[in-house]
Chains A and B, each alone.
Chain A
Amino acid sequence: MKVKATLKGDSAEVKIMAESLMAGKEEAAAKKLPAEEYITHITAKLNGKTVWEASTGPFLSKDPYFKFDINGAKAGDEIVVDSVDNKGKKDTGTAKIK
C-alpha cells in the first residue's frame, strides 16, 4: 500500500493506493481466480485518532485509489492506514505529512 500526505493550508490531502484485485464472484469466475478477493474496510488515523474510513466492495477499481482531506493537520503528523480484505488479510501503510 502506498500513502502520501501533503499539507495544504490547515488541512492535509491524503492519497492512498491500496493493493487488491478487488474481484467479486463474477470477476473471480471470469478470470478463473481461486476465490473472490477484495478489501472490505480501510481506516486512516491521524496521530492515532480515526479521521477517515471506507467500507468497500469489489466494484472499486483494482488496487483502489482514494483521495481525501483531513482538517487540522500539521507537517510531521503521522497518517496510518490499515486495510483488511474479505479473507482477513491485513495491510498497513504510513506517511508523515509533508
Chain B
Amino acid sequence: MQRRKFLTLGAVAAAATVLPVGLSATDFRATNASAWEAPSSKEAIEALFGKGAMIEGKIEIKAPKLAENGGAVPIGIKSDIELTTVAVFQDANPRSAVVVFELYGNKIDLMTKIKMKKTAEVTIVAKGADGKLYKTAQKVEVSIGGCGG
C-alpha cells in the first residue's frame, strides 16, 4: 500500500509539471528553446509553463507606470509564498521571454532591468513549491524605446 501511494503521488506530481524538476542547474534556453522564440507572452508562457490555471494576486510586481528610458526598466518581484521558478515576459519586443529565475527556497525579493521598445504589458509567471502556477501583470508606458531598433 505504501508503495502504491508513493507511485500515485509521483504520477500526480509528474502530471502537474511542465518544467524540468531537480536540484541541478537548469538552462531553460536549452530545455525550452522554442519558448524563447515565441513572439507573444501568451505563447511564451504556454511553452514554459503549460496551459494550467494560474492564481492571481499572490505575487507583487514593482514596475514604473511610466518608464522614461525603455533601455533599462526596473522590474521588482516580491512574494510571501515559496516559489521555485519565476519568469518575466513582455509584449514590447520581438520575442516575449526575458528571464527565468530559479530560487532554491530563498525569500522572493528580486529586481532586474529589462528593455522595452514600446508601451506594453509585463507579465510575471511563477511556479510555487506547492506545484501551483501564479501570475501577475502590469502595463508599463515607455516614452523612449530601448531596443536599439
A residues sitting closer than 8 Å to B (CB atoms) are: 11, 13, 22-24, 26-27, 29-31, 40-41, 43, 50-62, 64-71
Contacts and interface: CB of A to CB of B under 8 A. Distances in A.
B118 interface: no
Interface stretch (B5-13, B51-59, B90-98, B132-140): B90-98
Nearest to B28: A55
A55 B26 contact: yes
Interface SS of A by simple majority: strand
B106 A51 contact: yes
Interface residues on B, range: 35 or more
A57 B94 CA distance: 12
Given A30-B148, A61-B113, A69 B25 contact: no
Interface of B: 23, 25-29, 36, 71-73, 90, 93-95, 97-115, 146-149
B148 A23 contact: yes
A65 B106 contact: no
Contacts of B27: 40-41, 55
Contact of B112 (A31, A43, A67, A70): A67
Contacts of B148: 23, 26-27, 30-31
Contacts of B72: 61-62, 65
27 contacts: A11-B106, A23-B148, A26-B149, A31-B148, A41-B27, A43-B25, A50-B104, A53-B101, A54-B101, A54-B102, A55-B27, A56-B99, A57-B29, A57-B36, A57-B99, A58-B115, A59-B93, A60-B115, A61-B73, A65-B72, A65-B112, A66-B111, A67-B109, A67-B112, A68-B103, A68-B106, A68-B109
A54 B99 contact: yes
